[in-house]
Amino acid sequence: MNSASSHTRTRHRATFSNTVLILVILFLFLPLFVIITYSFSASKSMEFTTFSLKWYHQLFFDSDELWRAFLNSAVIALSSAAVATVIASGAAIGIMWYRFLGRQYIQILSFLPMVLPEVIIGISMLIFFSAVRLSLGLVTIFIAHTTFNLPFVYLLVTARLDEFDFSTVEAARDLGATEAQSLVKVVIPSILPGMLSGFLMAVTMSLEDFVITFFVSGPGSATLPLYVYSMIRYGVSPVINALSFVLILSIMLIAFTLRRFLKTIAASS
Amino acid sequence: MKRSSRLGITYAGPMGLWLTIFFLTPLFIIILYSVLKKGLYGGVEGTFSLAAYRQLVNPAFARVLFRTLIVAVTATVITMTLALPCGYAMARSRHQSFFLGLVIVPFWTNSLIRIYAWIAILSSKGFANELLKQLHIIDQSLPLIYNQGAVITVLVYMYIPFAILPLFTTIDSFDFQLLEAARDLGASRFTSITRVLLPNIRSGIITSGVFTFIPIFGAYTVPLLVGGKDSYMIGNIIVDQVTKTRNWPLASAISLIITLISTVGVMWMLMAGAQEKRERSESLRKAGTR
């Protein structure tokens, strides 16, 4: 086969799609570019006048309410992601390896929350919580976030389990390991990357969610997106520009560190 | 492979229980609420009433539903038209994970902050208008925001990664030698794409289209923040019923309609996937008997 000519053809054919890809990526980054530029501007309105770090100063030293909202978001994100990871990983193992009554029911239920618009999930939960007289607050937000996180973690862990050879577990059992021992020593270590990426995805989605949280939050339980929403509606401060840039940087840092961490795990196993 | 059923339910039971209580039960409560009488201060009274459904049969609601469909279809078509070449370029690239990262990174910024950035870009004294003025293309600000165009632009922006990622995955698993074969047999570049590539990734296209259409159809924040008076979508109507009018039966009835439309979309997606699998195994069988 003439590899040189087929290679140039591949290149040539991809020109149009490459151009679209580059333009779309520029389109995706345009708002970020605008946010970052304005975060260093001294002006309070959306225009660039002179360079200033005052919004960063205000962010770190004079934004109590914002940090309270951030704390709420962090608590909800970590707790709901952790609970969702445990429950969904269990479900992935159970559905993948066992036959039992209700298996198909759980399987169908596991992807339904992903395909309904967020508004519907938010409204139905609000109505549910009021019907069972559970007052709105951090607890209801935690329940709602765990619910919409479950399908995503389940999906990612299932994908990882697909590559896992069940005979390894049988070998462990034949060698006398109990179910709990084989779970802790064999299964969990090998699906850990799937669980971790599921956990991270859940944290991200929880930090990001506005629509569902909007319905199930109560007084004093504002999360960061709710706080940002109130800022957009009732007077914007460029502090949120500064905050966005700080968040982008920290998430990139976390992702980078975790990538190295995951690579180390993959290399050791 | 499959072992005792007691262990299976121990593993999977908690998720089944959680989703039954916190996902399925709320949906059933919505069905119930939609046929009850509206309470005075929100909530419902325990008497049967079809008032909510009667309220749905009115031209104002039909207009919003129709507009929502038009906006959602337009935005989905634009999104898919852009996402297909993107998925293709990414699948053929040697720097796949780099491009994947570039597509995902903007989504680490909160969606509200990104909408807010679009307000800053499109508003009358915003980034876009100032740029056009600097370039002497216009001398008066264009009305770029608070209209249908702004809503569609920002919706495309919000959901394009959701379209690109599944398309990338499907195209990536496509055997590109088939394209080369078609070219060698004399097909033009365009024909080889439309007759060989597209039919082979059909279920991926449908999945990605459905996953784009459903959230756009239920959009709430985008029309609220960058739309004008005439940009209200069905999601906004529901939220108003809950927060302003406090008409929970009506909100429930509209929610049910959206749920039904989403279900139809998902069924279509699943059927397309199943059909493709069937066709594939059939052609394999034919190849085997030959």
- CATH code, A160: 1.10.3720.10
Q: Quote the number of domains for chain A.
A: 2
When CB atoms are compared, the residue of A6, A94, A112 closest to B11 is A94
And the tokens for B168? Answer: 């990338």
A34 CB near a chain B CB, below 8 Å? yes
Residue with token string 């852009």: B82
What distance in Å separates the CA atoms of residue A262 and residue A87, rounded to the nearest whole number?
22
What distance in Å separates the CA atoms of residue B129 and residue B122, rounded to the nearest whole number?
7
Contact A208 B258 (CB under 8 A): no
Mean pLDDT of A30-36: 89
Size of interface A-B (CB pairs under 8 A): 264
Asked if residue A149 and residue A39 are part of one domain, the reply reads no
Q: What are phi and psi of A51, to 5 degrees?
A: -65, 135
Total-model pTM: 0.86
Residues 6 or more apart from A215 whose CB is under 8 A from it? A122, A123, A125, A126, A144, B242
Q: What are phi and psi of A116, to 5 degrees?
A: -95, 140
Residues 6 or more apart from B68 whose CB is under 8 A from it? B217, B233, B234, B235
Task: Point out which residues pair with A41 in neighbouring strands.
Answer: A51
- The four Cα atoms A255, A259, A265, A269 give a dihedral, to 10 degrees, of 140
- Chain A residues whose beta carbon lies within 8 Å of the beta carbon of residue B252: 123, 127
DSSP codes, A142-203 = HHHHHHHHHHHHHHHHHHHHHTS-THHHHHHHHTT--HHHHIIIIIHHHHHHHHHHHHHHHH
What distance in Å separates the CA atoms of residue B196 and residue B180, rounded to the nearest whole number?
10
Residues 6 or more apart from B261 whose CB is under 8 A from it? B217
Amino acid, res. A205: M
What distance in Å separates the CA atoms of residue A223 and residue A94, rounded to the nearest whole number?
34
Interface test with B, best of A10, A27, A116 (most B CBs within 10 A): A116
C-alpha separations of B233 from B54, B110, B254 in Å: 20, 22, 12
Tens digit of each residue's pLDDT (9 = 90 or more) over A79-116 = 999 999 999 999 999 998 888 888 999 998 988 888 88
A106 CB near a chain B CB, below 8 Å? yes
Asked if residue A138 and residue A18 are part of one domain, the reply reads no
When CB atoms are compared, the residue of A28, A147, A224 closest to B19 is A147
Beta-carbon neighbour count of residue B280 at 10 Å? Answer: 11
Q: Is the pLDDT reported for residue A9 higher than 90?
A: no
- Chain A residues whose beta carbon lies within 8 Å of the beta carbon of residue B89: 14, 17-18, 20-21
Asked if residue A248 and residue A127 are part of one domain, the reply reads yes
Asked if residue A244 and residue A184 are part of one domain, the reply reads yes
Q: Minimal CA–CA distance to A226: which of A25, A97, A66, A100?
A: A66
- Chain B residues whose beta carbon lies within 8 Å of the beta carbon of residue A228: 110, 112-113, 116
Contact B13 A94 (CB under 8 A): yes
Query: Would you say residue B47 lies in a domain?
Result: no
A104 CB near a chain B CB, below 8 Å? no
More confident residue, A230 or B152: B152
According to DSSP, residue A62 is labeled S
Task: Point out which residues pair with B45 in neighbouring strands.
Answer: B37
Task: Give pLDDT tens digits along chain B (290 positions).
Answer: 455 678 888 899 999 999 999 999 999 999 999 999 888 777 788 888 888 888 888 888 889 999 999 999 999 999 999 999 999 999 988 888 888 888 887 877 788 888 988 988 898 878 888 888 888 888 888 888 889 999 999 999 999 998 998 899 889 888 888 888 888 888 888 888 888 888 888 888 988 998 899 999 999 999 999 998 888 899 999 998 888 888 889 999 999 988 888 888 888 888 887 887 788 778 777 776 65
Contact A28 B183 (CB under 8 A): no
When CB atoms are compared, the residue of B16, B113, B242 closest to A123 is B242
A129-132: long-range contacts, CB 8 A cutoff, minimum separation 24: A129/A216, A130/B42, A130/B43, A131/B29
Contact B30 A25 (CB under 8 A): no
- pLDDT of the residue at A2: 42
Q: Quote the number of domains for chain B.
A: 1
Task: Indicate the range of A93-102, A155-164, A246-255, B8-17 predicted with least confidence.
Answer: A246-255
According to DSSP, residue A41 is labeled B
Asked if residue A86 and residue A15 are part of one domain, the reply reads no
What distance in Å separates the CA atoms of residue B103 and residue B99, rounded to the nearest whole number?
6
Percentage of chain A modeled with pLDDT above 90: 36
When CB atoms are compared, the residue of A20, A120, A147 closest to B255 is A120
- CATH code, B210: 1.10.3720.10
Asked if residue A92 and residue A43 are part of one domain, the reply reads no
Where does a domain end: A15, A32, A54? A54
Minimal C-alpha gap between B209 and chain A (Å): 12
Asked if residue A156 and residue A137 are part of one domain, the reply reads yes
Query: Would you say residue B101 lies in a domain?
Result: yes
CA nearest to A33 within chain B: B117
Where does a domain end: A38, A54, A70? A54
What distance in Å separates the CA atoms of residue B272 and residue A179, rounded to the nearest whole number?
39
More confident residue, A251 or B132: B132
- pLDDT of the residue at B82: 96
Contact A124 B29 (CB under 8 A): yes
Minimal C-alpha gap between B289 and chain A (Å): 29
Asked if residue A83 and residue A40 are part of one domain, the reply reads no
* Band of residue A154 on the pLDDT scale cut at 50, 70, 90: very high
CA nearest to A109 within chain B: B19
Asked if residue A199 and residue A96 are part of one domain, the reply reads yes
Give CA angle at A196 (A248, A254), nearest 5°. 25
And the tokens for A97? Answer: 């390896």
C-alpha separations of B58 from B63, B120, B243 in Å: 9, 37, 21
Residues 6 or more apart from A248 whose CB is under 8 A from it? A32, B105, B108, B109
Amino acid, res. A199: F
| Domain containing residue B118 | 59-289
Beta-carbon neighbour count of residue A178 at 10 Å? Answer: 10
Taking only residues 99 to 128 of chain B, the set having a beta carbon closer than 8 angstroms to any beta carbon of chain A reads: 99, 102-103, 105-121, 123, 125-127
Tens digit of each residue's pLDDT (9 = 90 or more) over A101-110 = 889 999 989 8
- Chain B residues whose beta carbon lies within 8 Å of the beta carbon of residue A10: 92
CA nearest to A97 within chain B: B2
- pLDDT of the residue at A81: 96
Where does a domain end: A14, A29, A54? A54
Pairing of strands B44-48, B36-38: antiparallel
Q: What are phi and psi of B229, to 5 degrees?
A: -60, -35
Query: Would you say residue B52 lies in a domain?
Result: no
- pLDDT of the residue at B18: 97
More confident residue, A233 or B248: B248
Task: Point out which residues pair with B40 in neighbouring strands.
Answer: B42
* Band of residue A171 on the pLDDT scale cut at 50, 70, 90: confident
B11 CB near a chain A CB, below 8 Å? yes
More confident residue, B97 or A145: A145
| Domain containing residue A32 | 3-54
What distance in Å separates the CA atoms of residue B252 and residue B258, rounded to the nearest whole number?
10
And the tokens for A89? Answer: 């990983």
- pLDDT of the residue at B108: 73
Query: Would you say residue B150 lies in a domain?
Result: yes
- Chain A residues whose beta carbon lies within 8 Å of the beta carbon of residue B121: 30-31, 34
Give CA angle at A16 (B151, A4), nearest 5°. 155
When CB atoms are compared, the residue of B25, B248, B266 closest to A115 is B266
Asked if residue A223 and residue A104 are part of one domain, the reply reads yes
- pLDDT of the residue at B100: 86
Task: Point out which residues pair with B44 in neighbouring strands.
Answer: B38
Asked if residue A200 and residue A257 are part of one domain, the reply reads yes
Asked if residue A170 and residue A50 are part of one domain, the reply reads no
